[in-house]
Amino acid sequence: MGMIMNRRRVMGGSSSLPYDAEIEYLESDGNSWIDTLENLQTACSTYIKMSITKTISSNALVFGAWMDGGTSITPKAQLYINPSQRWAYSRTTNIAVSGITLGDSVALNTVYKLTATTQSQENDLKAYLFARNNDGNDLLPIDGMRLYDCTMTKNDVFVRDFIPVRVGQVGYLYDKVSGQLFGNVGTGNFILGPDKSELFVDMGLPSGTLWAKGNIVKDANGNYAIGNETDYGCYFSWGNIVGHNEGEGYNFDQTTYDSTPGKQVSADIASNDSTHDAALATLGGSCRMPTKTEFKELYDNTDTEWTTIDGVNGRKFMKKSDHSVYIFFPATGTYDGTSLSLRGSRGFYWSASHISDPVAYNLSFDRWNIYPQNNYNRRYGFSVRAVK
C-alpha cells in the first residue's frame, strides 16, 4: 500500500476531504507502521498521544530513526518499550522526552501524552511511527499500540499534524498540514477505532457544525473522553485545559486563576490552540470549543425543551425537522471557589469567545430561559461541550 494518497472525496456535498471518517485511534498489529517523511533535524519535537493494549515480549518501537553508519556521529533517536514493560529510549544526539520517565513501568490501556525533542540530527533519515526506520528498513514494529494524535514541529512550526481516519475500512493518518493521507507501509493491517462521528450529532445547522453528544469527562487516570449524554463532566476555568471532577478540591477562585495560562489570553481562543482550547487539548483531532456564534446558531436553529433524562435535569436541543435527533445539555451547575452550586437547576458551558479580562462568553440556561451568549468571570468552573 502506498504511503501517501492525495485523492479528494466530496463529503455531504459541501466540503472536500480525502477520507470517510475520523476515528478514535489506529492500532498496530505488529506489522503496520507509518513513514512520516520527516527527519528529526532542526529542533524537531514529536508529540504522541498513545496507549498500549498488549504486553511487550521484546523491544518494540513507538517511533524513531536510526542510521548505523555513513556519518561521523552515527545519528540515532528512538523511543521504545522493553521486555520489562518499561519506557526506554536511545540516541547519539541530544533528545529530551517529557510526559514519561525513562525506566518507569508502562501501564496497559492507559493513555500517555509524550513529547520527544531532538536538537540536531546529521542525516536525512525519516522517522517512522509504530516502528523504527533502520537505514531505510523497518525494525522492531510494535504490536497493540493505539495512536490517537501525533504532531511534529520544527523550530515551533508545525510540519505534521496527524489524526487517525479511515477510507472504507482501511486506516490512515491524515496530515492537516499537507492535506495528505499517510498509509501503512508494512505488511499488516491497522485495527480501526470507532468513528468519531458516532460521538457527534448533525443538527442540520447552516454552518454544518457537528455537536458532541456529551460533555468532556475525565477518569481516575486523568484520561479525557466524550461522556454519555447525562454526564455532568469535569469543570474548566476559561482558557485552561485541565478539567477538574467534583470532589477534587480544586479552587476556582481569582487568586488561583491569575496563576493559570488562561489568565494570559486576551483574544478569542483559536481553533488550533491546544494550549488553551479545552476540547482540542483533551480530545484531539478536529475537536474544539464552540464559539459564541455557534451557540447562537444552535439556539436559533433548533427547538428546545427543559426535560429530565435518567434523573438528570437539563435542556434538550432538537433538530427542527426531526425531534428524534437531539443533544442534551445537563444542568451542570457551576464551581465558584471550591463550592459546586446550582447543579440540576442551571447549566453553564464555556465558549471559545473572549470579551475582556475578566469575562468570556458562555451558554447558560435554566428551566425558563436560555442565554446563548451570556458572560461570566473566566475563573468559574463550567463544563465544556465539543464541536467539530
38-52, 77-91, 174-188 — most confident range: 174-188
Provide the pLDDT for residue 195.
86
Whole-number Cα distances in Å, 351 to 86, 111, 155, 223, 238: 40, 26, 31, 22, 8
Whole-angstrom Cα distance, residue 179 to residue 172? 12
What is the structure's pLDDT at 75? Answer: 55
Q: Is 103 or 257 the better-scoring residue by pLDDT?
A: 257
Q: Give the Cα separation of 386 and 380 in Å (integer).
A: 18
d(Cα 162, Cα 328) in Å, to the nearest integer?
30
Is 385:215 a contact under the CB 8 Å cutoff? yes
Of 133, 141, 165, nearest to 26 by C-alpha is 165
Query: pLDDT (tens digit, 9 = 90+) per residue, 4-37?
Result: 544 333 233 334 789 998 898 999 999 999 999 9
- Which comes out higher in pLDDT, residue 33 or 79? 33
Q: Phi, psi (5° rounding) for residue 158? A: -65, 130
- Confidence (pLDDT) at 123: 60
Question: Cα(285)–Cα(195) distance, rounded to whole angstroms?
Answer: 12
Instruction: Compare 156 and 291 and report the one with higher pLDDT.
Output: 291
What is the rounded (10 degree) CA torsion for 81, 173, 183, 92? -40
296, pLDDT greater than 50 = yes
CA distance 54 to 57: 9
Distance CA 32, CA 60 (A): 12
Query: Sign of the C-alpha dihedral, residues 206, 278, 44, 135?
Result: negative
Taking 3-state DSSP, the helix, strand and coil percentages for the chain, each rounded to the nearest 5, stand at 5, 50, 45
Q: How confident is the model at residue 140 (pLDDT cuts 50, 70, 90)?
A: confident
Residue with cell 512550526: 157
pLDDT band at 57 (very low <50, low <70, confident <90, very high): confident
Lowest mean pLDDT among 44-48, 370-374, 375-379: 44-48
Average pLDDT, the chain: 88
d(Cα 351, Cα 289) in Å, to the nearest integer? 6
Predicted confidence band of residue 134 (pLDDT cuts 50, 70, 90): confident
334 versus 274: the higher-pLDDT residue is: 334
Mean pLDDT of 122-145: 83
What is the per-residue pLDDT across 303-349, written as a single tens digit (0 to 9) for each?
999 999 999 999 999 999 999 999 999 999 999 999 999 999 999 99
Its pTM surpasses 0.85: no
Mean pLDDT, to the nearest integer, of 74-82?
Answer: 76
Please state, in angstroms and rounded to a whole number, the distance separating the CA atoms of residues 268 and 291: 8
348 Cβ contact partners less than 8 Å away, ≥ 6 residues apart: 332, 333, 334, 342, 362, 363, 364, 376, 380, 382, 383
Q: What is the pLDDT of residue 43?
A: 75
pLDDT tens sequence across 166-203? 999 999 999 999 999 999 999 999 999 988 777 899 99
Confidence of residue 261 (pLDDT cuts 50, 70, 90): very high
**Cβ–Cβ under 8 Å, residues 307 and 317:** no
Residue whose C-alpha is closest to residue 80's, from 130, 34, 37: 130
Looking at this protein, which amino acid is placed at residue 91? R
Q: Quote the pLDDT of residue 198.
A: 79
State the pLDDT at residue 185: 93
Q: What is the dihedral of CA 165, 168, 171, 174, to 10 degrees?
A: -40
- The pLDDT of 363-369, averaged and rounded, is 97
Residues 277-286 have pLDDT tens digits of 999 999 987 8
Q: What angle do CA 387, 223, 326 make, to 5 degrees?
A: 30
Task: Give domain limits for the chain.
Answer: 4-192, 200-377
The DSSP bridge pattern shows strands 60-66 and 132-134 to be: parallel
72-94 mean pLDDT: 74
105/51 Cα distance (integer angstroms): 13
Pick the CATH number of 4-192 from 1.20.120, 2.120.10, 2.40.128, 2.60.120: 2.60.120
Q: What is the mean pLDDT of residues 382-386?
A: 98
Distance (Å) of CA 263 to CA 113, 253, 360:
24, 12, 11
Residue 1 neighbours by CB distance under 10 Å = 12
Alpha helices in 38-191 (DSSP H): none
In the prediction, which pLDDT does 5 show? 46
Q: Which three cell numbers stand for residue 328?
A: 442534551
Q: What is the pLDDT of residues 227-249, one digit of tens each?
A: 999 999 999 999 999 999 999 99
Q: How many CA atoms lie within 13 A of 243 on its CB side?
A: 31
